[in-house]
Amino acid sequence: STRYSTKIKTPTNAGTAHEVSNKQRIFFTDPVSPGSIFFLPNGTKIFNKLLQFMKLQQQHKYGFQEVVTPLIYRKSLWEQSGHWDNYKDDMFRVMGSDTSKEEYGLKPMNCPGHCVIFKRFDRSYNELPVRLSDFSPLHRNEASGALSGLTRVRKFHQDDGHIFCAPGQVEEEIIKCLKLVDLCYTKIFPLSESLQSAAYSLELSTRPDNFIGDIEIWNHAEDVLKDILMKSGKEWEINEGDGAFYGPKIDIKVSDKSGKSHQIATIQLDFQLPERFDLRYKDRDNTYKRPIMIHRAVFGSLERFLAMLIDRNEGKWPFWLNPRQAMIIPVNTKQAAQVDASRKLLSYLRHEGDPNDDMPVPLNSFHFNVDIDERAEPVGYRIKDALTKDYSYLIIIGDKEVESSKYAVRTRQDRALEHLTSQEIFAKFSDLERRYV
Amino acid sequence: STRYSTKIKTPTNAGTAHEVSNKQRIFFTDPVSPGSIFFLPNGTKIFNKLLQFMKLQQQHKYGFQEVVTPLIYRKSLWEQSGHWDNYKDDMFRVMGSDTSKEEYGLKPMNCPGHCVIFKRFDRSYNELPVRLSDFSPLHRNEASGALSGLTRVRKFHQDDGHIFCAPGQVEEEIIKCLKLVDLCYTKIFPLSESLQSAAYSLELSTRPDNFIGDIEIWNHAEDVLKDILMKSGKEWEINEGDGAFYGPKIDIKVSDKSGKSHQIATIQLDFQLPERFDLRYKDRDNTYKRPIMIHRAVFGSLERFLAMLIDRNEGKWPFWLNPRQAMIIPVNTKQAAQVDASRKLLSYLRHEGDPNDDMPVPLNSFHFNVDIDERAEPVGYRIKDALTKDYSYLIIIGDKEVESSKYAVRTRQDRALEHLTSQEIFAKFSDLERRYV
Ligand SMILES: [Zn+2]
Ligand SMILES: [Zn+2]
């Protein structure tokens, strides 16, 4: 993660997130833990899908290896990393009941822990780059007055990653980071104001006056970054002298509906932590060299990213993320055959196991978030209600559908009915999820 | 989780876990965070697979809903739950930099947070049972002298779950909990000493002298539990008066290789927390009733469960859990065609995306942990080496295999070769993972 980030501007429209959350039971906060989100089952479904998406991309397309790391570290580690001097007031302190013993810091970022992992083994040039990803909960002690919904929190999760590489590998690594950013923000999560405007903008921040390290390494790195940005064909601008003292960075920003710009992803070079932790690898020539560290996050804070998604979609989730993917509506709830067929389809699409048998639910299986509305209300009323509740699909089952075993499927947006068998619906839904649509 | 658990006996054989871990790079510990595990990439793969398995069973076979909850809670919550009086010394305290402000407790268990969720909404009889699952990291301040590998830790993860139900639902809920236990310990993770002995044993602990609550509720609950155990056809015994003061419980125990018995799963009734949090639901007759709370975990601590798996398998993981699923070995590494075919198969079985295109890695896709040994060493040497490293499968590619596009596949245990196309290998591996074999 960004190491000593300044407060990040967040969507102004916290109202939308609250409204959608109340309607869909996504999350809540409570004074028992100010600034920590309680994700309800529907919110947890969305949260887990976002994680799943990112883990798959990082591990199977971009060469990351996931690790699970401690949450509390001795004060001495934070002194070594420099956080104790620079960041102490934003950190939570942890103590055992014997408060005279050494205290711990509850981690606000994963970087020092990843340095410990890198340092643990003798590293050779031929295993670089080492790319570690981590989804640990992080804590920062924001002032209680500033806390707000999903956007100003004390506990959050980052799709965090650190790359330890040789100086000559920086270019390729940054290009790959930007590819993943592009995949996310143009293809899977278009957050921008309109299809006309760019999905996101890029900002390069360069060497500040109080920089540390070798000026030639800085110059080279900045040249590499500029060159990459130039060739990217994307909008970008430069903030001269606005980099962190330990390295230049690229921030990725999107605009919310009101046109306000927000930082989401970040890619940050670090010449300092490898020094502080005395990280090294054995090069081809048998001498020890210092790796460069790259901090990067694509979603950034998952909580904030979720807020931006809601700001944009107002609860109209794409199918794959929707905790309410389809509502099944038997036309006449007094017709046992219609209700039976509806319940069978419900169980088929949920792909539920029987608690009484000893067959495990298979790994990597699809299970759709489908509900049934069997209330003795007019069908038109129930259709309208399901639309109000933002279901992606409605599946309507009358006598004709029961007889043909082909059910009437319509989307949220379009009244047009498609008649599909249960297998066809399952295949259609699987295809949508598989492709993140 | 068990609320005020006494220290749990753990496998004595920490040596095996360390040896396997060193060989396979599964985890390590470090003085920067005593008692917190660093899971390395291979360990994280196993950890995530175990989570995936349990989440699928709980959510799609046993009706649980996953939630993500805060890690730090105000002291006042722990006072309300009773932990501050009974458990304070085992908890970590958390403070902001302004230590004069109210302090927090780093959670040692999820129960109070789940009570907050239950209480947040008006609950009706027709939404019971509410079954919440949670995989939060938990912290308990074990004495530093007692810390050991995966088994005596300060940070751990439970496959934790809490069921809030009406008194009349207890029987069915307990039966279902035991079904999931049975699925795990007889079918997916047989941990017992031999196939002859029972996979696990059950112990019922009944009302102690210092019980709280209504004696008739206790009597009824104990009768229900005895009746379930009687009908289960499993070995069980009774520990009279050994229950917690807030409710009776069933502990599930397995024996390690040395024959020593260890508690793994637990199912625990709780008549007290619903009182302390004033939990209630509106019954059919429009009056408010108190739900019963059931704490249950099947793996228990994932860290300890992993230690027990290693104690049992000594690093010979079943295919689906193995971070080293297959090793590809070109017979003659000077033959470009053999090396090419090997690399192609590697990429096919890993199912890796191209970082340069904009096709996302699909949701729920299979990606096998396959490596290649291209070293210019004799094929016999490389086969032996892969076996030493505990790969589940070896795939050997010589001229004949290149020509036929059918590759020679053998298991860790058996030299017999099966000739399969890459598609057939992928299908075979997918089938093994899908079935947790
Ligand atoms: Zn970082
Ligand atoms: Zn509990």
- Centre of ligand 2 to C-alpha B328, Å, is 46
Contact with chain B for residue A39, Cβ under 8 A: yes
CB < 8 Å to A45, chain B: 66
Outline where B369-412 has alpha helix (H). Answer: 379-388, 399-404
Q: Which residue of A has its CA nearest to B59?
A: A352
- Centre of ligand 1 to C-alpha A3, Å, is 5
Interface test with A, best of B37, B45, B47, B94 (most A CBs within 10 A): B94
Contact with chain B for residue A318, Cβ under 8 A: no
Q: Which residue of B has its CA nearest to A66?
A: B41
- Cβ of A72 within 8 Å of Cβ of B435? The answer is no
Return the residue matching tokens 């995966």.
Answer: B150
CB < 8 Å to B138, chain A: none
The number of beta carbons lying within 10 Å of the beta carbon of residue A103 is: 16
- Centre of ligand 1 to C-alpha B410, Å, is 43
pLDDT in tens, chain B (437 residues): 555 544 444 444 567 888 998 999 999 999 999 999 999 999 999 999 999 999 999 999 999 999 999 999 999 999 999 988 888 889 999 998 776 677 999 999 999 999 999 999 999 999 999 999 999 999 999 888 878 889 889 999 999 999 999 999 999 999 999 999 999 999 999 776 555 557 888 999 999 998 888 899 899 889 999 999 999 888 899 999 998 888 999 999 988 777 788 888 999 999 999 999 999 999 999 999 999 999 999 999 999 999 999 988 999 999 999 999 999 999 999 999 999 999 999 999 999 999 999 999 999 999 999 999 999 999 999 999 999 999 999 999 999 999 999 999 999 999 999 999 999 999 999 999 999 99
| pLDDT over 90 at A330, yes or no | yes
Point out which residues pair with A281 in neighbouring strands.
A289
Q: How far, in Å, are A55, A66, A221, A295, B173 from residue A132 at the CA level? A: 11, 6, 21, 10, 41
Q: Does A58 participate in catalysis according to the annotation?
A: no
**Identity of residue B157:** H
Two structure tokens written together for B39? 């899971």
End-to-end CA distance of chain A: 28
- Cβ of B139 within 8 Å of Cβ of A96? The answer is no
- The alpha-carbon gap from B144 to the nearest alpha carbon of chain A, in Å, equals 11
Contact with chain B for residue A381, Cβ under 8 A: no
- The alpha-carbon gap from B428 to the nearest alpha carbon of chain A, in Å, equals 14
What beta strand segments (E) does A221-314 contain? Answer: 236-239, 249-255, 261-270, 281-282, 288-289, 292-301
Find how far residue B332's CA is from the centre of its chain: 42
Interface test with B, best of A30, A76, A276, A301 (most B CBs within 10 A): A30
Rg (CA), chain A: 25
- Cβ of A65 within 8 Å of Cβ of B44? The answer is yes
**Among the listed residues B295, B311, B92, the one whose alpha carbon sits nearest the alpha carbon of residue B192:** B311
The answer to whether the beta carbons of residues A96 and B162 sit under 8 Å apart is: no
**Among the listed residues B124, B119, B199, the one whose alpha carbon sits nearest the alpha carbon of residue B162:** B119
For A106, which DSSP code?
E
Q: What is the pLDDT, as a whole number, of residue B6? A: 40
**Cα–Cα distance between A246 and A211 in angstroms, integer?**
6
Q: Does B75 participate in catalysis according to the annotation?
A: no
Confidence of residue A5 (pLDDT cuts 50, 70, 90): very low
Interface test with B, best of A29, A42, A363 (most B CBs within 10 A): A363
**Identity of residue A134:** D
Q: Which residue of B has its CA nearest to A131?
A: B41
CB < 8 Å to A43, chain B: 68
Q: What is the pLDDT, as a whole number, of residue B212? A: 84
Nearest CB neighbour to A360, from listed B57, B352, B353 = B57
**Among the listed residues A120, A114, A117, A112, the one whose alpha carbon sits nearest the alpha carbon of residue A80:** A112
| ipTM for this prediction | 0.95
Name residues whose C-beta falls within 8 Å of residue B152's C-beta, 6 or more positions apart in sequence.
B10, B35, B142, B146
Region A215-232: mean pLDDT is 92
The answer to whether the beta carbons of residues A150 and A303 sit under 8 Å apart is: yes
- The alpha-carbon gap from B71 to the nearest alpha carbon of chain A, in Å, equals 8
Find how far residue A430's CA is from the centre of its chain: 22
End-to-end CA distance of chain B: 28
Identify the three-state secondary structure at position B229: helix
Q: What is the pLDDT, as a whole number, of residue A146? A: 78
At residue B9, φ and ψ (nearest 5 deg) are -65, 145
Residue with more model confidence, A261 or B324 = B324
**Cα–Cα distance between B406 and B411 in angstroms, integer?**
16
CB < 8 Å to A90, chain B: 97
Q: Does B157 participate in catalysis according to the annotation?
A: no
CB < 8 Å to A88, chain B: 97
Point out the ligand nearest to the CA of residue B115.
Answer: 2
The answer to whether the beta carbons of residues A331 and A397 sit under 8 Å apart is: yes
**Cα–Cα distance between A362 and A354 in angstroms, integer?**
13
Q: Does B160 participate in catalysis according to the annotation?
A: yes
The answer to whether the beta carbons of residues B408 and B396 sit under 8 Å apart is: yes
Outline where B128-234 has alpha helix (H). Answer: 170-182, 215-232
The answer to whether the beta carbons of residues A368 and A349 sit under 8 Å apart is: yes
Q: What is the pLDDT, as a whole number, of residue B9? A: 44
Q: Which residue of B has its CA nearest to A38?
A: B69
**Cα–Cα distance between A164 and A434 in angstroms, integer?**
32
- Cβ of A56 within 8 Å of Cβ of B97? The answer is no
**Whether the bond into A330 is cis, omega within 30 of 0:** no
| pLDDT over 70 at A118, yes or no | yes
Q: Of B24, B58, B158, B268, which one is the catalytic site residue? A: B158
| pLDDT over 80 at A391, yes or no | yes
Beta strands B326-330 and B393-397 are: parallel
Point out the ligand nearest to the CA of residue B5.
Answer: 2
Outline where B249-328 has alpha helix (H). Answer: 273-276, 302-313
- Supply the pTM of this predicted model: 0.95
Q: Does A295 participate in catalysis according to the annotation?
A: yes
- Cβ of B44 within 8 Å of Cβ of A56? The answer is no
Q: Which of residues 172-191 of A touch B (CB under 8 A)?
A: 176, 179-180, 182-183, 186-188
Point out which residues pair with A266 in neighbouring strands.
A251, A297
Q: How far, in Å, are A144, B103, B113 from residue A33 at the CA level? A: 11, 11, 10
Outline where B267-421 has alpha helix (H). Answer: 273-276, 302-313, 336-350, 379-388, 399-404
The answer to whether the beta carbons of residues A70 and A260 sit under 8 Å apart is: no
Contact with chain B for residue A168, Cβ under 8 A: no
Contact with chain B for residue A69, Cβ under 8 A: yes
Q: Does B242 participate in catalysis according to the annotation?
A: no
CB < 8 Å to B50, chain A: none
Q: How far, in Å, are B58, B298, B304, B351, B353 from residue B163 at the CA level? A: 12, 14, 23, 39, 41
Q: Does B351 participate in catalysis according to the annotation?
A: no
Q: What is the pLDDT, as a whole number, of residue A124? A: 98
